[in-house]
Structure 1
Amino acid sequence: DGMAMRMMLLRNVMGASTYHYHTETTLKTLKATVEGQTPFKISEPEKLRSFAERLGLDTSGSEKDIALKLYNFAKEDFNRAHGERSKVVEKLAPPERQEIWKNLGIFPGGLYGEMMFSTSSCLTNVDGYYASLALKAMRLGIAMAYQSQIVNEFTQDILFNIPRPHKMRVNLGVLEPDYVNILPNGHEPFLGFAMVQLARKSEWQEKAKAVGAKGLRIIANIETGQEMIQRWEMDDVFYGFTGNWIMQEAILASGCIDAFICDMNCCMPIDPIYAEKYKFKLVPVSEVVVFEGITKRVDYKPEKAEEQAATLIQMAIDNFKERRASVEPIMGLDMNEAVVGFSSESILAALGGTLDPLLDVIKNGTIRGVAGLISCTSLRDYGQDVHTIQVAKELIKRDVLVLSMGCGNGAVQVGGLCVPEAKDMAGPGLKAVCEKLGIPPVLSYGTCTDTGRVADLIGTISAALGGVPIPDLPVVAAAPEYMEQKATIDAIFALAFGLYTYVNPVPTVTGGADLVKLLTEDCKDLTGGILHVETDPIQAVDAMLAHIEKNREKLGI
């Protein structure tokens, strides 16, 4: 039991630190932007002000003043001692959850201190008690969700726009061989946005045409792409979104790629083999990303973003002739559309500025509940995205509204569930709501980093219902195809947050019977959260609906 939970906690630390690497880069970009050193701007001044107000900051002064206060407040909290309480968590988490966490001794300090505390606990012969290690994991998960995920996504909203619904081309058909195609790949969207800004200028389009291309396109890819498509609308330059991580080899083998720009996470060690065979430039743009044999790199620096974007675009243009002359592209690939760009703010706007219409249809049973589908993608049990699509289809068929995040979001986008026409796959109640509001039954809600954002929305729903405890809400979390270490800390946070959490495949903890019992049964008496492991998608949805109906009965709705 102790060994299994120790290894799980180490995976949690890896996930938390990687999420936070992204957050630190986002904050550096915010600071450099308000100091006039980047091509970016404060795109959402009202969000800057409202987020600062939620954190208890003085919002008098200029946008620059408020942004720097936010930057300094967040940095101070990240470095808060393990024994002190995080101010970010105090300001943002639901009061009911905070009391639970205090009573269990898992109210966190700063994330860096929590990572040190957790890692130190995993040394041989330090903490071998599975229950203690599980509580430390939850403590780390809470710090990660609020200090990393929420701070990160809200700051990216401030810089690059709050996600709002719009159409987006998706699937491999967005790749056309006669264009210079650049794919930003990974999780950090900064250079992707900078390249789109440059590529929309006529001078860069003319440079592409001068080498025989029809033009220059930036194609969104994987989670970097999700961050981009949620916020910016498509045009003939920012053309569309390919898909999720499991599609990477097909994307690279399409014969349509001129530059594959690799930031933190989701690039593969075998990518150089594809780059050599299919004649594209493979360029790491994060100091943590390294490929054997690849020496040309452009490590992102906020103050050099425009210059670096120009360098990357020129590399792609210079590559076009060789790629087009020596690689036979795959033609006729599928392309469809998805509606993307849902967020807490845009959902509220669609409902007329209040949650009441959503709460009303939940109370009267038109919608039975809400599922946050936050998943990776894996070939471990099924074909590409099969499990995720089955779970999503079954949930909407049973009148459960789905909010999709992560690589699972790419699955449902490409799979046709994020368009209004997908209402015909939904149950009669959810279908009626979709028709009335003009929305899909699966709302494209972002990346895996939006786990914190959806928790914040759930907290808002709880407050709107008069403070109903999180575990009593008709809400579930689902990770049908988790894979990354990031996903493990997401699931641990969901348990700490009090959510029924379904995961597949089976986590590597089954050698510890007492640990399994703690996660799947006893945790309910601690935080209200419960872990459900199920490899069959229909049985998984059966169990999620049973939980939702039980909570509806408890609430008398």
Structure 2
Amino acid sequence: MSQKDHYHIHDIGNGHKHDHSHDHAHSHTHGGVDDYIQAINEYRKTFPKKKDVIEQTPDPAVRELLLHMEESGLETVFDRFDKQQPQCTFGMAGVCCKNCYMGPCKITKRSPRGVCGADADLIVARNILKATASGAAAHGARGRESMLALKMAGEGKINTPIEGPDKIFAVCRTFGINTDGKTIQELAVEVADILLEDLSRTVPDKHKTLHAFAPKERLEVWSKLDILPISVYHEVFESLHRTSTGTDGDWRNEMKQFLRTGIAFAWSSCLGSSIAMDSLYGLPTRSSSRVNVGALKKGYVNIAVHGHSPLLVSEIVKLGQSEEFQNLARANGALGIQFYGICCSGLSAMYRYGNVIPLSNAVGSELILSTGALDLWVADVQDVFPAIMEVAKCFKTTVVTTSDSARLPGAEHYGLDHNHSNMDQINEIARKILTRGIESFTERRDVPVKIPQYEVEAEMGFSVEWMNKHFGSVKPIAEAIKSGKILGVVNLVGCSNPRIIYEKAVVEVASILLQNNILILTNGCASLPLLKLGYCSTKALEQTGESLRDFLKDIPPVWHMGECLDNARASATFSSLALELQTPIKDLPYAFVSPEWSNEKGICAALSFRLLGMNSYHSVHAPIQGSQNVTDFMTYGTKELLGSEMIVNVDHIALANQIVEDFRSKRKELGWNE
């Protein structure tokens, strides 16, 4: 393969050692349909039932609450998963097309093409591209709120303090912004303007965040592949255009846009949003918290924050922790106000403000509500499932929504409007929500409370900034990797998925990696079982190999970096260490590990790290098995282009052991000790 061809995405599948030949272009025209149906049927056999979850989930609190809900006659996500079986073969394989209303169409042996002539390759490629566009829009939309808030705070249009001046100065240096004689407010506006432009640019131009922060080696690779994005808005717009009826008929061209949209997600939806949040709300600080349901406190106004948007959550937590509202709660018979975190909003609030107790990821939200201990549930955007309303009603928990993008039938709404025209009223809205929480406390005195007594101490708030402060630079970590004290580094993240025993894969993969001296970074939903079960504590050093334990000394072996958006911190860690080691990311013992991923953002997150040159490892299949060509592209087909592969194994123990062996192979290629 010539150098030119090496960077030509349309050559994917041709001339590669795993190639199935050009004759396989219409991959399921004949026997291929039987192949993917058999594969899906075998895959479905691995799905657990609710009773398996009860027996095998690693968190005893989850087991106790599942039994509690069963005794109460309440349905859970695991009950609904059981009722959905067997799930649709065509949907799981990605060969169900609902693009137009001549369909829906499905690919079978009798009908190898849809009404319009689209084959399995095209249908699968279009579906995965649409999912990627959705993931880019999801993180980008909530990031836009923070970017707008940063700009408006700088302009004095909202009374929100800028709590991350150090971050703003650091970003200005990277962007090349002259800071001389400028106030922090003026600089905040300049940074926000760049982030917003990169998010929403329509006229083609240089993507400033991408070119300022991405590794030079990667920029060259992406440029040669012609997958540099214009903006998130444009690439989402373009993805939906290409997948619309009768537009793009080439599955390879769809996958090229898939990669381009992934870059837009990584460097705007994710990194750009992270920059805005850190600039406005401040950098994380290494701190500790009690974690798990045993930390629920009786007698307090208990408020859970659930979702991903920090604007109102930040104000609610800061106001709620003030003497004014603590006293108001006491005046109404409570011991005070206590905050808890569900999913990502709680994690980001915890590492910034402290005393926000993480309880569960999104899939476990119904279980937390069933304790009866929550007076107010504040839901903003993403991973807030409609089913919580039924459980909340049973326990008289007041649910409040705060975003025009995310309403729940039966919930009360106090939030930002569609145009964010009331962003200057955040303080007033937060006061209404807190007052409603205190009222709910007084209305719920007769609700029985069940709190399983399981809790641990966990640490969080790790970042590149923390590493530089603690170690003086990232050099000691880089030296430990090169010497073999640290075999490698993984980012262990993702959602939860009932296709796997709840939280089991994350925990057991972590155990194997730690035993083999692999340092773990984590954030988001997958981090909750690691928090709850002691992996983010120095006690977990007992589970590590000797050399990792000797290096870390009094530092947990799992570094909790925050919410799912904080994949940007993990990316910065990998990039900083690669720079120190003077070795491309693709050649280093790094991995992105997401055993239980379950949604569009999960596809985007894995793709972001794959684009950097890191393999991604999973125990849940993507909906691509209906196309051999797309499956080949997604698995080993990007090795030539990006230096990375997607590895899927529903046996998560085997998956973890493969990561260890792959790291040893990478170290051998580098000539490093194990």
Aligned to 1:375: 494
Alpha-carbon shift at residue 37 of structure 1 (Å): 4.6
Displacement after TM superposition at 1:367 (Å): 0.8
Question: 2:442 aligned to 321, 326, 330, which one?
Answer: 321
The CA distance in 1 between the partners of 2:251 and 2:544, in whole Å, is 42
What CA distance in whole angstroms lies between the structure 2 residues aligned with 1:85 and 1:456? 21
The reply to whether residue 360 of structure 1 matches residue 360 of structure 2 is: no
Distance 2:205 2:187 in 1: 25
2:361 maps to 244
Select the structure of larger CA radius of gyration.
Answer: 2
Question: Does 2:620 correspond to 1:505?
Answer: yes
Mapped contact 1:223–1:406 kept (Cα < 8 A): yes
Is residue 260 of structure 1 aligned with residue 399 of structure 2? no
2:532 matches 1:414? yes
Q: Do the aligned residues in 1 keep the contact of 2:619 with 2:655 (CA within 8 Å)?
A: no
Match of 2:566 in 1: 450
1:218 aligned to 2:339?
yes
Q: Is the 8 A contact 1:2 1:130 kept in 2?
A: yes
In the TM superposition, residue 196 of structure 1 has moved relative to its aligned partner by 2.1
Q: Deviations over 1:361-391 (max 9, x none)?
A: 1111111100011211122121x20011111
In the alignment, structure 1 residue 5 sits paired with structure 2 residue 120: no
* Alpha-carbon offset, residue 287 of structure 1: 0.7
Q: Which segment drifts farther, 407-416 or 192-201?
A: 192-201
Asked whether the equivalents of residues 81 and 109 of structure 1 are also in contact (C-alpha less than 8 Å), the reply is yes
Provide the C-alpha distance between the structure 2 equivalents of 1:125 and 1:549, rounded to a whole number of angstroms.
47
- C-alpha distance in 2 between matches for 1:82 and 1:387: 45
> Does the alignment pair 1:402 with 2:520?
yes
Alignment CA distance shift 1:136-1:344 (3 Å): same
Query: Which amino acid is 1:442 matched to?
Result: V
What is the RMSD computed on CA atoms of the aligned residues? 1.6
Structure 2 length as normaliser, TM-score? 0.79
Deviation larger for 518-527 or 26-35: 26-35
User: Which digits, 9 at most, give the CA deviation of each residue in 1:314-333, with x for residues without a partner?
Assistant: 001111122122x1011343
Q: Is residue 82–residue 114 contact of structure 1 (8 Å, CA) maintained in 2? A: no
- For 1:66, the equivalent position in structure 2 comes to 187
The 3-state SS of whatever aligns with 1:471 is: helix
The alignment partner of 1:68 has SS state of helix
Which residue identity lines up with residue 323 of structure 1 in the other structure? R
Aligned to 2:579: 463
- Structure 1 pair 225–68 and aligned structure 2 pair: CA distance change class (3 A): same
Q: CA–CA distance in 2 between the matches of 1:513 and 1:536? A: 21
1:440 paired residue among 543, 553, 556: 556
Contact (CA 8 Å) 2:217, 2:584: kept in 1 or not? yes
1:275 is displaced (CA, Å) by: 2.4
* Among candidates 263, 283, 288, match of residue 142 of structure 1: 263
2:162 & 2:661 partners in 1: Cα distance? 45
Report the residue type matching 2:534 in the other structure: G
Q: Tell me the percent identity.
A: 27
Q: How far off is 1:295 after superposition?
A: 5.0
User: Which sections of structure 1, spanning at least 5 residues, go unmatched?
Assistant: none
Look up the match of 1:275: 392
Alignment pair present for 1:522 and 2:637: yes
Give the secondary structure class of the aligned counterpart of 2:360: coil
User: 1:82–1:117: 8 Å Cα contact kept in structure 2?
Assistant: no
Say yes or no: does 1:334 pair with 2:454.
yes
Distance of aligned partners of 1:37 and 1:317 in 2 relative to their CA distance in 1, 3 Å threshold: farther
> 1:112 aligns to what?
233
Structure 2 residue 406 is the aligned partner of structure 1 residue 286? no
Q: Contact 2:192–2:276 (CA<8 Å) still a contact in 1?
A: no
What is the CA distance between 1:82 and its match in structure 2? 6.9
Report the Cα offset of residue 360 of structure 1. 1.1
Distance apart, 1:398 and its partner CA: 0.7
Deviation at 1:187, TM superposition (A): 0.7
Aligned pairs for 1:142-221 (under 5 A) are: 142-221=263-342
Q: Secondary structure at the match of 1:483?
A: coil
Q: Return 5+ residue gaps in structure 2 as ranges.
A: 1-120
Partner residue of 1:387 out of 492, 505, 509? 505
Counterpart CA distance in 2 for 1:297 and 1:11 is 30
Are the counterparts in 1 of residues 151 and 189 from structure 2 also a CA contact under 8 Å?
A: yes
Q: Note the C-alpha offset of 1:179.
A: 0.7
**Deviation digits for residues 26-47 of structure 1 (CA, Å, limit 9, x no counterpart):** 0122123233454532222121
Cα offset, 1:105, TM superposition: 0.7
* Paired residue type of 1:56: G
The letter of the residue matching 1:512 is S
| 1:510 alignment partner, SS class | coil
Structure-1 separation of matches of 2:628 and 2:555:
44
Matched, 1:28 2:156: no
Amino acid of the structure 2 residue aligned with 1:513: Q
- Change over 3 Å in CA distance of 1:44–1:292 after alignment to 2: closer
CA distance in 2, matches of 1:39, 1:220: 25
Report SS of the residue matched to 2:272.
Answer: helix
Q: Are 2:619 and 2:652, in contact at CA under 8 Å, matched by a contact in 1? A: no
Q: Which residue of 2 aligns with 1:102?
A: 223
Quick one: distance in 2 between partners of 1:169 and 1:519? 40
Cα distance change, pair 474–332 in 1 and its aligned pair in 2 (3 A): closer
Match of 1:481 in 2: 596
Measured after TM superposition, the shift of residue 83 of structure 1 is: 4.3
Please tell me the residue identity of whatever aligns with 2:558.
V
Give the Cα–Cα distance (whole angstroms) in 1 for the partners of residues 317 and 666 of structure 2. Answer: 46
Give the Å deviation of 1:292: 2.0
Distance 1:164 1:433 in 2: 21
Quick check: 150-159 or 424-433, which moved more? Answer: 150-159
Cα distance change, pair 207–371 in 1 and its aligned pair in 2 (3 A): same
> Which residue type is aligned with residue 375 of structure 1?
G
Spell out, residue by residue over 1:460-513, the C-alpha distance to the aligned partner (whole angstroms, 9 max, x if none): 2222122x2221011011001101211111112222221111122111111111
Deviation at 1:303, TM superposition (A): 1.3
- The secondary structure found in structure 1 opposite 2:521 is strand
Give the direction of change, closer, same or farther, for the CA distance of 1:332–1:521 in structure 2 (3 Å limit): closer
State the alpha-carbon separation in 2 of the partners of residues 246 and 31 from structure 1. Answer: 34
